[in-house]
Amino acid sequence: MELKELKGIGSKTLASLRDLGINSIDDLVRFYPFRYNVYKPINLNNLTSNETVTIIGKVVSKVSFFRGNKVSNIIRFSFETCNRIINVTIFNQPYLSKQLYINKELTLVGKYDEINNIFTVSKVINEKLDHTLIEGVYHVGTNIKKGVLVNLINEALNQYDIKEVIPDYINNQYELISLKKALSIIHNPTNNNDYKKALLKLKYEELFVFMFKINLLKIRKELSESFVIKDISDDMLNEVKSLIPFNLTNGQNEALKDIINDFKKLRRMNRLVLGDVGSGKTIVAFLSLILNSKCGYQGTMIAPTEVLAQQHFNNFVNIFKDLNIKVSLLTGSTSLNEKKQIYKDLRNGNIDILIGTHAILEDNVIFENLGLVVTDEQHRFGVNQRNSLRNKGKHVDVLYMSATPIPRTYALTIYGDMDISIIKDKPSNRKKIKTYKYDFSHMNDVMNIVNNELNNKHQVYMVAPLIEDEESDLNDLNNIKDTISKYLDKNIKVGILHGKLKNIEKDKIINDFKEGITDILISTTVIEVGVDVANATCMVIFNAERFGLSTLHQLRGRVGRNDLESKCILLSDKDSERLDCLVKSNDGFYISEMDLKLRGSGDLFGIRQHGDMEFKIANLVQDNKILLQTKKDSEEFIKNNIENNFINYPYFKAIVEYLINND
């Protein structure tokens, strides 16, 4: 059954549904309410002042309609409820004037002003409720009315043949209700007990399917053979490590050891290196690329931005300038002639390591003998992009890097198809970044700190929540520039950076800051990843409460990239447990755990891993017990059915075929 077959769906409604991501009947019935309104009629005598309540009764006077000026239309009438007469006012719902008449029984939702005996209505229900009404609230936007969406969902639930996803033996084992019943209840709950049963069924199903994919990918990875064992001797490793002008931390050494062990196995490497801000993941990636090159294979490293790719290239060349390895840079800004030469050199094997951006994914980029792909900030690339790069060689080893620290328990579950190396320690020359919280009333104190840093010939970041003034109580880029200009010497040079600038403009602004031409860089969160300026020792974040905890930690990591004392100042007039957490700790893994507890999984895991890390109803934190159980159950399910290719389970057979075809 298709969407267009539903009663009441025309081309406009179909387009509106697609805007909401609803492209099938299954999408429609799984478009869940994000909260519920509960309407339970009460006796006005039990009312607490200024509280939104639900009352039942009937109209007992003529309905008056007043067409206001440009501001409002008003409906007024007398209403009998609980043996008393009250005056009712309804704003901006003029169509109701034709539906209301004397003795009409209604349910009204609103607030009661006992002193003036006026009930101001926010919602009218055209019946006299004799029960509690629970009504789902949906993110519908402006192109489709909520009532239309609800009618379509209920129509689909009545007509659509909803097939079970979870195997019957699991449904029986946990006494899970049927999928059709669960979907009906979640859209039209009548009591809390049934709602909990529906919620459990839908959460279990969503997490079971997710863990099925993760575990299946893990099994397929273990079965995949590498085209060669890269034999790396201790002498080779020591020679490569001797090229860097500092000692690796224990975490870096352990991560490198894991990677070398992967190189030596007869299967493809699929490893994720998780590290806190400033933990030194990049040097581990560089050393891996060099070892791969010494084994006779080409390597590539892809970064999400030109700034970051250029930075990686410059750092690699500076550190390993004496190494006899040909390294090239390929980005969208690379000239056509340079690109042609790079394409030719890659095919001929004259380039050992290619560093770049999405430009590496282009069809013209053909390697002679690709052996290792490193993806920096792996969550910023879609699944198809990552697969495209991996498929540029035969059984290529893959190394992912992420600066988003994730608690180990969650990492081992959600990245179950990858081997994981975690770098927790930081280079010994790095000092802890001191973090402070100030109210805006102490701007003078904050600017004294900033001026002190500038007088010491250091540089400063200032972060804005907005590019332009979209909300009057927030600071945008220009507003910040105007504010700080009152406190600064006229000779201080300020740069402004945001995502809407063209790449060439961004590069110039960032380079000016890196070269010390500008003293202060005012920016949005585009500096969260990639900008590495050793002389920047101070960051001021305006309206810090507007940012997620993990984002704030990532931003803070732009300073302290040296052996100088650095500080981060959180400007906010609002009390916040999240900000207090940041003041107390520099540990990204602790902060990520707090972020999960305070805000749930959405912000930390709001990325698409294997195409579906966005859960519709489950929550990785709140539903961690269910997640761990589905991990175990899906492993057993795969073990018992993989040999017969899930022949008795068409839904999961289709997933297997999809993963094979999109490998």
Alpha-carbon span 440 to 427, nearest angstrom: 34
User: What b/e readout covers 402-414, taking b as 16+ CB neighbours within 10 angstroms?
Assistant: bbbbbbeebbebb
Q: What is the pLDDT of residue 651?
A: 92
Q: Which of the four pLDDT bands, split at 50, 70 and 90, describes residue 48?
A: low
pLDDT > 90 in the chain, percent: 47
Q: Which CATH number fits domain 434-585: 3.40.50.300, 3.90.850.10, 3.90.550.10, 2.60.120.680?
A: 3.40.50.300
Q: Do the Cβ atoms of 370 and 350 come closer than 8 Å?
A: no
Lowest mean pLDDT among 6-10, 501-505, 600-604, 606-610: 606-610
User: Which positions ≥6 away from 240 have C-beta within 8 Å?
Assistant: 287, 290, 291, 294
Q: What is the pLDDT of residue 656?
A: 87
Residue showing tokens 């309410």: 33
Nearest to 432 by CA among 532, 553, 592: 553
Nearest to 589 by CA among 401, 412, 380, 403: 403
Q: What is the pLDDT of residue 612?
A: 40
What 8-state DSSP symbol labels residue 440? Answer: G
- List for the chain the helix, strand, coil content (%; round to 5): 40, 20, 40
User: Which positions ≥6 away from 442 have C-beta within 8 Å?
Assistant: none
Q: What is the pLDDT of residue 487?
A: 92
Mean pLDDT of the 301-309 span:
86
Q: Which of the four pLDDT bands, split at 50, 70 and 90, describes residue 611?
A: very low
User: Which positions ≥6 away from 657 have C-beta within 8 Å?
Assistant: none
Q: Which of the four pLDDT bands, split at 50, 70 and 90, describes residue 457?
A: very high
Higher confidence at residue 358 or residue 660?
358
**Into which CATH architecture does domain 41-131 fall?**
Beta Barrel (2.40)
Residues of the chain with CATH 3.40.50.300: 234-423, 434-585
Alpha-carbon span 91 to 119, nearest angstrom: 11
Q: Do the Cβ atoms of 167 and 27 come closer than 8 Å?
A: no
* pLDDT per residue as tens digits for the range 15-32: 889 888 899 999 999 999
Local structure of 101: helix, strand or coil: coil
CATH level 3 topology of 234-423: Rossmann fold (3.40.50)
| Alpha helices in 175-302, H assignment, sequence order | 179-187, 192-223, 234-241, 250-263, 281-294
Lowest mean pLDDT among 75-84, 153-162, 363-372, 652-661: 652-661
Asked if the model's pLDDT at residue 600 lies above 60, the reply is no
Higher confidence at residue 236 or residue 143?
236
Give bridge partners of residue 398 from the DSSP assignment: 270, 373
pTM value is 0.68
Asked if the model's pLDDT at residue 133 lies above 70, the reply is yes
Lowest mean pLDDT among 41-50, 307-316, 426-435, 495-504: 41-50
The Cβ of residue 263 has, within 10 Å, a number of other Cβ atoms equal to 22
Alpha-carbon span 432 to 210, nearest angstrom: 38
* pLDDT per residue as tens digits for the range 249-280: 999 999 999 999 999 887 888 898 988 888 88
Residues of the chain with CATH 2.40.50.140: 41-131
Nearest to 612 by CA among 383, 358, 376: 383
Higher confidence at residue 511 or residue 202?
202
Q: What is the pLDDT of residue 71?
A: 57
* pLDDT per residue as tens digits for the range 357-375: 989 988 899 999 999 999 8
Asked if the model's pLDDT at residue 85 lies above 90, the reply is yes
- Please state whether beta strands 64-67 and 73-81 pair in parallel, antiparallel, or not at all (unpaired): antiparallel
